[in-house]
A and B are shown apart, each in its own frame.
Chain A
Amino acid sequence: MKGLAPIRRLSAVLIRVLMQGVVWLLPAAQSGWAKAMRAEVAEMADEGEALSFAFGCLKAALQLACERAGQRGLQRVQRVRVMGLQAPYLGLLGASAAVLLGCGFMVWADAPRPMAWMNGLSLAFALASLALLPRRSLQRGPRLRSILCAALGALLLASTALAPMSGVIGRWLHLGPVHVQPVWILLPCLLLLSRPRRGVERSRGDSLGLLMAVAALVLQAELIWLMVMSLVLWQRGWQHRGEPDAPLAVLAMLGAAAVAQIWQVPAHTPFVDQVLQSGFERHAGLGLLLGLGSLLLLLPALFHRNAREHGLIWGGLSLAAWMGWVSTPLLGLGGSAILGYVLSLAALPGPAAVAGSALSDELDLEPKPTGRGSHLPKTGLT
């Protein structure tokens, strides 16, 4: 129980940050509601439940902040169209907008011309690759997912044989003129494919893939990825007690602690690292716009509960990018991140899964009626 104390402290801090976000987002006229939410969270004994409740409150505050911004038209479209979109499509929208925003920034800031082109081409390639992936089979076939998890873990482990970027850190795969970092492409997909699904028994392939991934990340001294992985596995272990995720999370954390001894902050490369700061240095508005671009990566997680892990991965990476520990995903130059983000959307429940378990994952109450509330009486409420 003593070992859980740091996690509890971390949860408490996270909850406080989330609730501070709620206070900040809600206008003064609604400050009472922010207090009400905070008081409710304070009464909860279970940290996991409190964290989930706090996340929901932040989501509500975000929604209300959008409304307040006077974008009634946009908000209506968001409610009717965007929220109705499946998580992968929302992700595609967010990714495309973020990449275009990043390209626009590069052009505006006089970055070398090929940079914007490369990101644009990477996006096109990623979208084409996603279209070719057998998403339906991925949604419906636990066996296929399990095999893929093991294969992705093995590939990540095999990529350790590639030449490191500096010292022992990081790996690049050179495919003719194209250079990619396998970890950005393989790990998000592996993590999301191994996500426990309601009514589906976990297979050994999932755990084996994750185990190989931890080993590969330690060998490649990928500290940030180890931290992201342990974060995802911790929250998974918390939600699905008895699954092998908690021991794997401990392993990833131990790996991170070991790697921290040799890890160094990568050298800053313009238009690759700390893109948000570069934006703020030029103009506050530009920085804010790029900040919004970063938030676009979280669209699937904001509107779909079953895409929360996707948000955790890319939100974690965006935060690390803010610190300059990894390159800025999608906004900065980097085909690997673009490819990794878009391909990881294939692992999210989409239209193919709606008829099955994913729906009950996503909706706590009931399947959505096909005609929006057609059987319900008309009243003055929304």
Chain B
Amino acid sequence: MTRTRALSAQALAVLDILANAAGEWRHGYDIAALAGIKSGTLYPLLMRLEAQGQLEAAWQESPTSGRPPRHVYRLTEAGHALVASLGDALAQARALRAGAGLTPGLAGRSS
């Protein structure tokens, strides 16, 4: 049976950022910075999204030699479908983040 629980504002922010990445892979730190959430909130969310098939993760070699490969994330088809079904809620979350001074979507920072 599908659990019917509301998406948290943080989950909406993460989905919004990944949706706006237009298929590009995103790092955990980038997502946290753009969504304005802490790593303690981000990772359980990413784990759940991945477990539910909304998100896919991959390993990407670090450009700096000697550093471990990084985990990168992007939405799956199911994730994009979920985002498309969110409509107003996503727009509301985006407006709230913009109000809080956080840059929405594509203006990501690279680390």
Does A174 reach chain B (CB closer than 8 Å)?
no
In the bound complex, CA of A30 to CA of B47 (Å): 9
| B4: A residues at CB distance < 8 A | 378-380
Quick check: B100 and A381 within 8 Å, CB to CB?
Answer: no
Quick check: B89 and A376 within 8 Å, CB to CB?
Answer: yes
Quick check: B39 and A365 within 8 Å, CB to CB?
Answer: no
| B36: A residues at CB distance < 8 A | 364-365
In the bound complex, CA of A36 to CA of B28 (Å): 8
Quick check: A63 and B62 within 8 Å, CB to CB?
Answer: no
Does A113 reach chain B (CB closer than 8 Å)?
no
Does B20 reach chain A (CB closer than 8 Å)?
no
Quick check: B68 and A381 within 8 Å, CB to CB?
Answer: no
| B37: A residues at CB distance < 8 A | 364-365
Q: Which chain A residues (28-52) contact chain B, with CB distance < 8 Å?
A: 30, 32-33, 35-40, 42-44, 52
Q: How many residues of A contact B (CB 8 A)?
A: 39
A20 to chain B, nearest CB (A): 14
| A376: B residues at CB distance < 8 A | 6-7, 9, 12, 89
Does B109 reach chain A (CB closer than 8 Å)?
no
Quick check: B3 and A380 within 8 Å, CB to CB?
Answer: yes
Quick check: A373 and B67 within 8 Å, CB to CB?
Answer: no
Number of A-B contacts (CB under 8 A): 139
Does A60 reach chain B (CB closer than 8 Å)?
yes
Does B86 reach chain A (CB closer than 8 Å)?
yes
Question: Which residue of chain A has its CB nearest to the CB of B50?
Answer: A33
Does A377 reach chain B (CB closer than 8 Å)?
yes
Q: Which chain B residues (1-28) contact chain A, with CB distance < 8 Å?
A: 2-13, 27-28
Given A40-B29, A60-B44, A375-B92, A365-B6 contact (CB < 8 Å) = no
Give a binary string over B85-103; 1 marks a CB under 8 Å from any A CB, 0 the rest.
1110100100011011010
A287 to chain B, nearest CB (A): 28
Quick check: B111 and A35 within 8 Å, CB to CB?
Answer: no
* 28 A–B pairs (Cβ distance < 8 Å), ordered by A: A33-B71, A36-B57, A37-B39, A39-B62, A39-B71, A40-B29, A44-B111, A52-B38, A53-B29, A54-B39, A57-B43, A59-B38, A63-B40, A364-B38, A365-B9, A365-B13, A366-B96, A366-B100, A373-B7, A376-B89, A377-B85, A377-B87, A378-B4, A378-B5, A378-B6, A379-B6, A382-B3, A382-B48
